[in-house]
């Protein structure tokens, strides 16, 4: 790990710990007979970026998808344990999954804009949830979301072009704009930069830093430096278990667990 990154980790340290926005307690996930997640407990704090790291197949995405119940859409998947959003059990019958997903947004590994115009992509969420009272308000939301995602200047003259015609990095920022257009409380990002080049990655990372004031952000990443750069909290997963969780600086400079150290120093994974 370079000196540079370490300096950055230390800088991020100053973030304050806030009260948890989401809590997960003893979460298990099975895909059919496969026990993919084995009793993970974790708090996601507001105003903090939480990074999930760990070798491939260790259950990072699986855990991430628990927070907005995307595992419901997988045939044969079973989730146990308690997850709360703002003190409400998200598996409770009175919790509406449609609303939950509006409050807990998600950005995927591969950019997945809808085959619609840029404008329609961003307007999709506000439209279905009825968040804009008028066309003017909708325009306003679209503009703000694109501005927040740092895409506005690049696309403001071609909002009616297809979203799929953008470059990979632009597409991913479009997906972020789409996710934040409904003004969620949490944004889940599953390896948002793995399909992007370094420049686009830097832009997305900047964006994450920028968004940190307003949303709780959880990011899955395979890139150690990225985790160190953007997050304040890091959780290390291995074989379906959460091995270690703590301040990012501590995880990267002074891990308690041997497995974490091995992974961070590149011994395996």
- Positions touching ligand ATP (CB under 6 A) are 31, 34, 36, 54, 56-62, 74
Please give the full DSSP string across 44-106, using - where no structure is assigned. Answer: EETT-EEEEE-STTSSHHHHHHHHTTGGGGSTTEEEEEEEEETTEETTSTTS-HHHHHHHEEE
Q: Which does 198 bind (CB under 5 to 8 A by kind): Mg ion, another protein, ligand ATP, none?
A: none
Interface with another protein, residue 78, by CB under 8 A: no
The gap between the terminal CA atoms of the chain, to the nearest Å, is: 16
Q: Which does 214 bind (CB under 5 to 8 A by kind): ligand ATP, another protein, Mg ion, none?
A: another protein
Q: CB count, 10 Å around CB of 95?
A: 15
Q: Which does 96 bind (CB under 5 to 8 A by kind): another protein, Mg ion, ligand ATP, none?
A: another protein
Report d(CA 51, CA 69) in Å as an integer.
19
Sort residue 69 into left (φ over 0), alpha (ψ -120 to 50) or beta. Answer: left
Site string for another protein, 79-98 (x = CB under 8 A): -----------------x-x
Report d(CA 162, CA 173) in Å as an integer.
14
Report d(CA 65, CA 51) in Å as an integer.
14
Query: Which position's Cβ is nearest Mg ion?
Result: 61
Closest Cα partner for 38 from 30, 49, 48? 30
Closer to Mg ion by CB, 49 or 146: give it. 49
CA distances in angstroms from 215 to 85, 183, 193, listed in the order given? 13, 9, 19
Choices 2-10, 34-42, 48-56, 141-149; region in contact with another protein by CB under 8 A: 141-149
Interface with Mg ion, residue 221, by CB under 5 A: no
Site string for another protein, 243-262 (x = CB under 8 A): --------------------
Closer to another protein by CB, 31 or 108: give it. 108
Q: Measured from the CB of residue 106, what is the shortest distance to another protein in angstroms?
A: 4
Site for Mg ion in 57-96 (CB under 5 A): 61
* CA angle (124, 180, 106) in 5-degree steps: 85
Site for another protein in 214-243 (CB under 8 A): 214
Q: Measured from the CB of residue 116, what is the shortest distance to Mg ion in angstroms?
A: 26
Binding site for another protein (CB under 8 A): 68, 70, 73, 75, 96, 98-103, 105-106, 108, 110, 112-116, 124-125, 128-131, 141, 144, 147-148, 175, 178-179, 182-183, 185, 210, 213-214
């Amino acid at each position: 790990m370079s000196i540079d990154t370490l300096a950055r980790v230390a800088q991020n340290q100053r973030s304050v710990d806030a009260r948890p926005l989401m809590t997960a307690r003893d979460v298990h996930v099975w895909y059919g007979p496969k026990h993919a997640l084995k009793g993970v407990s974790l708090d996601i704090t507001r105003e903090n970026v939480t990074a999930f790291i760990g070798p491939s197949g260790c259950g990072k995405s699986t855990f991430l998808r628990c927070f907005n119940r995307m595992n419901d859409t997988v045939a044969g998947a079973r989730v146990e344990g308690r997850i709360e959003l703002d003190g409400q059990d998200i598996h409770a019958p009175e919790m509406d999954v449609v609303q939950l997903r509006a409050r807990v947004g998600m950005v995927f590994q591969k950019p997945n804009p809808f085959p619609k115009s840029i404008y329609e992509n961003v307007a999709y969420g506000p439209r279905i949830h009825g968040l804009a009272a008028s066309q003017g308000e909708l325009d306003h939301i679209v503009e703000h979301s694109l501005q927040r995602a740092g895409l506005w200047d690049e696309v403001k003259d071609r909002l009616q072009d297809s979203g799929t015609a953008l470059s990979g990095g632009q597409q991913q920022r479009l997906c972020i704009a789409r996710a934040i257009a409904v003004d969620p409380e949490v944004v889940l990002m599953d390896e948002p930069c793995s399909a992007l080049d370094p420049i686009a990655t830097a832009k997305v990372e900047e964006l994450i830093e920028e968004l940190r004031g307003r949303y709780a952000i959880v990011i899955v990443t395979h890139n150690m430096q990225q985790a160190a750069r953007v997050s304040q909290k890091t959780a290390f997963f291995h074989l379906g278990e959460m091995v270690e969780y703590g301040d990012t600086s501590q995880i990267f400079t002074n891990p308690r667990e041997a497995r974490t150290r091995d992974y961070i120093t590149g011994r395996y994974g």
